[in-house]
Amino acid sequence: MPVAFTTRDLTKTYGEGRSAVHALRGVDVEIPAGEIVVMLGASGSGKSTLLNILGGLDRPSSGTVHFRDLCLTDLNDARLTRFRRQHVGFVFQFYNLMPSLTARENVELVTEIAENPMAPEEALEVVGLKQRVDHFPSQLSGGEQQRVAIARAIAKQPEVLFCDEPTGALDSATGRAVLEVLHEVNARLGATVLMVTHAANIAGMAHRVIRLADGQIREVEVNATRIAPAEVVW
Ligand SMILES: Nc1ncnc2c1ncn2[C@@H]1O[C@H](COP(=O)(O)OP(=O)(O)OP(=O)(O)O)[C@@H](O)[C@H]1O
C-alpha cells in the first residue's frame, strides 16, 4: 500500500517559557494512501494539531512531514499553499459556507481556482444534493450544509480529505448520512480520508485507528472488519 503521509519525530510547541504547551511530542506515523483513518484521543491530546500540520495549515516546531516524496517541512509558504490547493480538502465541524451563496456557488468558489475540478453539480450529486443546488445554506438542514461543505472539499478532486469533527454538530441520523458520504468519497473516488473525532464508535468504519495521548501516538490499530456507516451508533 503506498504511503500518503510520513512524519518523523514531529513536535509542536505553542508559546514559550513557563506558558509553553507541548501539543505534539515526537510523533512518528504513516498514513497509507486510500484508507479511512480515524484519529481518537482525549481533548487536548493533539489531534487537531497533527491534522493541521499534515494538511499544511500549520507548521511543526521540529521534525519532518512528507506527502509521498514531497517534504512539506521544506516548502516555503507559497509552495505549501500550492500543496493545499492541489492535493487536499478540508471539512470542519462548522461548515463555513457563505450564507449569501447557493450550494452550487459555494462549491464554485473552490472549482474556480482548482486545477482539475469536477463540475460543481457533479460534486453535489456525489453527496446526494443534486436536487438542492440552487438552495441557500439557510434553506438546508445541518447535515445538508455539511454535505455541501464536503462537496466543496471533494470538487477539486483531492487525494486526501481532512475532516475535523465532521459530525460534531449533528444528531446521530444526520451524522450517519454524512459518514455515508465520507465512506463513498473513499470507496468511489479513492480519496484518503483522515478524520479526527471524539466519537469512538466512528472508529469502526475506519481501516485504521490512531490513538493519541499527551501529544504522542499511543496505539495504531488496523480493523480486521469494518462496520458500515449505517451501523455507527452514538
Ligand atoms: N493556537 C494555539 N495556541 C496555544 N495553544 C494551543 C493552540 N492550539 C492548540 N493549543 C493547545 O495544544 C494542545 C493540543 O490541542 P489540539 O487542539 O491539537 O487537541 P485536540 O486533541 O484536537 O483537542 P480537542 O479534542 O479538544 O479538539 C492543547 O493543550 C491546546 O490547548
Report the pLDDT value the prediction gives residue 175, as an integer from 0 to 100.
86
pLDDT exceeding 90 applies to what percent of the chain? 77
Concatenate the DSSP letters of all residues of 180-231 into one string: HHHHHHHHHH--EEEEE-S-GGGGGG-SEEEEEETTEEEEEEE-SS---GGG
Which CATH architecture does the domain made up of 35-51+88-231 adopt?
3-Layer(aba) Sandwich (3.40)
Report the pLDDT value the prediction gives residue 148, as an integer from 0 to 100.
95
Predicted confidence (pLDDT) at residue 208 exceeds the cutoff of 90? yes
More confident residue, 170 or 232: 232
Closest CA to 33 of 158, 152, 139, 168: 158
Instruction: Please report, for residues 139, 200, 203, the alpha-carbon distance to residue 152 in angstroms, rounded to integers and kept in the order given.
Output: 17, 26, 24
- ipTM summary value: 0.96
In short, whether 43's Cβ falls inside 6 Å of ligand 1 is yes
Q: What's the whole-model pTM score?
A: 0.92
Predicted confidence (pLDDT) at residue 1 exceeds the cutoff of 80? no
Instruction: Please report, for residues 91, 114, 150, 186, the alpha-carbon distance to residue 97 in angstroms, rounded to integers and kept in the order given.
Output: 11, 18, 11, 23
Q: What is the atom index within ligand 1 of the atom nearest the CA of 51?
A: 18
Residue nearest to atom 3 of ligand 1 (CA): 14
Among 11, 14, 217, say which to mutate for ligand 1: greatest number of ligand atoms within 8 Å of CB.
14
Q: What is the pLDDT of residues 46-88, one digit of tens each?
A: 999 999 999 999 999 999 999 999 999 999 999 999 999 889 9
Looking at residue 104, its amino acid is R
Q: Where are the domains of the chain?
A: 35-51+88-231
- Whole-number Å distance, alpha carbon 24 to ligand 1 midpoint, is 10
Residue with cell 473513499: 186
Report the pLDDT value the prediction gives residue 64, as an integer from 0 to 100.
97
Tell me what the mean pLDDT of segment 100-117 comes to: 93
- In this prediction, residue 21 has a pLDDT band, given cuts at 50, 70 and 90, of very high
Q: What is the DSSP letter of 57?
A: S
Q: What is the pLDDT of residues 149-198, one digit of tens each?
A: 999 999 988 999 999 988 888 888 888 888 998 998 899 889 999 999 98
In short, whether 63's Cβ falls inside 6 Å of ligand 1 is no
What integer best gives the mean pLDDT of the chain? 93
Dihedral through CA 159, CA 45, CA 183, CA 101, nearest 10?
Answer: -70
β pairing state of 36-41 and 192-196: parallel
In short, whether 39's Cβ falls inside 6 Å of ligand 1 is no
- Whole-number Å distance, alpha carbon 56 to ligand 1 midpoint, is 16
